[in-house]
Chain A
Amino acid sequence: MAAPALFFTDDPHSQMDDLLWRICDELQLSPARYQQAVERYEAVCHWLEANGSAVASFRPSLYPQGSMRIGTTVKPIGHDEHDLDFVCEVKAPSTTFSSPLQLLQLIEARLREHNAYASIIEVKNRCVRLNYANEFHMDILPACPDTNSGGGCLVVPDRQSRWWKPSNPKGYADWFEQRCELATQVYMAERARILAKAEPVPAQESAAQKATLKRTVQLLKRWRDVRCEKRPNVAPISMVLTTLAAYTYEGQLSVSESMSCILAKIVGLTEFSKPRIYVLNPANRQEDLSERWEDPVEYAAFVMGIRELNGLWAKAIATAGVQNVGMALETLFGEPVRVAVRKQASHLQELRAKSALRVRPTGVITAVPAVGIAMRSNTFHGK
């Protein structure tokens, strides 16, 4: 993530965003773990392609999909392992296989030939999972190109229905990245406005702007995990939350403003969509990602949850006092909030020790240069 710079203004969003970035930083896959995941999947890929592999003749290619691909990973509650999804696309139409199960079994059998993989393998409905203890769960989803549809469309074997299901992970990721790009457009317009007024341009890295939607999605997923910890059966799936957020996002540069906008619009949708909201896969409009909401109990739970979140979020951003804001956010996102508050304070203290802080005329401490009064060094004393 882009390191927050504590460029506080008098606007509460400036500090709230720094805090939210730090919360997301606690939740997401660390750069070291990410690198490790890449190495692990490259090794799996080599094993599948190696001489003697029954999969090799299908020229498999392995690539990340889902949160790993779009940068919205969230650590699950209760254990340290992220779930990371990879597609193993074979260069053969589904008709090559006598049944969807044959493709799943082919991949599974090849992985079982490897001593290390054999001991950590777990077979799931649509994938073969490798459980790397204390690191992550690597789900390998076999897939065939959908020769009828093209455009990155795939079909994936489904063990339960014993049939092929449509999928398009690359198409979905491209669509999501396009939604993230809205922030760049807003930023360029804002920059042009500021330049026209000859004010200093706020320093912000482009990667950070584009990540605003990603950070908002991470927070939504985390809220879902916290709220549905005891009732996981009614938890909306990640792809539904991600898609809803991306559809309703308007290019805000601030994570807190993006969250406010997205929540207000989703709540609006719940009021006007009868009998329910349909979240269609943007990469395959035939697919209703929210098909589980056909169950009125599940849908009602979502509507109640998102309205509650909207209310609590509005309260949290209207709250004054770092301790009170922290408490309000902790209700929504759990224990990483306290860590984030502490890390923000430690960062501020580091800058203070380097005499790199100033104080605005309102009393607000900031790392923005050349405003207000420089903070001289001092030592808090006393009991």
Chain B
Amino acid sequence: MGSSRRFARQRRFTLDEQAYRMSVAWPGLRVTRKQRQSEIVWVGEIQPTPLSENYTVSIRLCQRWCPEVRVLHPRLKVREGAPTLPHLNTDGSLCLHVEGEWHSGLFVAETTVPWASAWLYFYEVWSATGWWLGGGTHPEKPEHRSE
């Protein structure tokens, strides 16, 4: 009994299972590319808060890799006076989690999408105020400055 539970927790979801869960939770995110058992890409709109813009994002999941989120539209803007956008990878994808917070036994629909939404909200607040208030690593960076 105990071992089967552990097995259930550690089981990896297939891309088909990920796609099904996504379609139920986020009907606005559509599969735009799918290669059986190796890669799946969703594109769709996310509005992080009622006053926020609608962002078109792409979410790419490759087997054995972490999901990768990019903002397609509108283009993310660096705040005047800031050197770069906070919490962004050099390839332009969003830095949403640290090691261990995501693994393939989790649904992208229940992790990556809500995290991307939170990222987009904190990005808008950062644009408005110069403060990154969503926490995270690299707290020594200027955008994390606190009162």
Contact = CB atoms under 8 A, between A and B. Distances in A.
B111 to A, nearest CB: 6
A8 to B, nearest CB: 5
B42 interface: no
Interface centre among A9, A14, A326 (most CB of B within 10 A): A326
Contact of A363 (B45, B87, B96): B45
Dominant secondary structure at the B interface: loop
Contacts of A14: 50
A16 B52 CA distance: 11
Interface residues of B, number: 52
B133 A323 contact: no
A379 interface: yes
Interface string B21-47: 000011110000000000000000111
Interface in A53-84: none
A123 interface: no
Contacts of A272: none
Interface stretch (A105-113, A131-139, A217-225, A343-351): A343-351
A364 B50 contact: yes
- The number of chain A residues touching the other chain, given as a range, is 35 or more
Given A322-B124, A345-B133, A8 B50 contact: yes
A342 B101 contact: no
B50 A11 contact: yes
A361 B44 CA distance: 12
A50 interface: no
A361 B47 contact: no
A291 to B, nearest CB: 41
Interface string A320-341: 1111111100000000001001
B136 A325 contact: no
A362 interface: yes
A378 B95 contact: no
Interface in A5-21: 8-16, 19
Nearest to A11: B50
Interface of B: 25-28, 45-54, 84, 86-90, 95-98, 101-102, 106, 109-111, 113-115, 117-122, 124-125, 127-129, 131-138
Interface of A: 8-16, 19, 319-327, 338, 341-342, 344-346, 348-349, 352-353, 357, 359, 361-365, 372-383
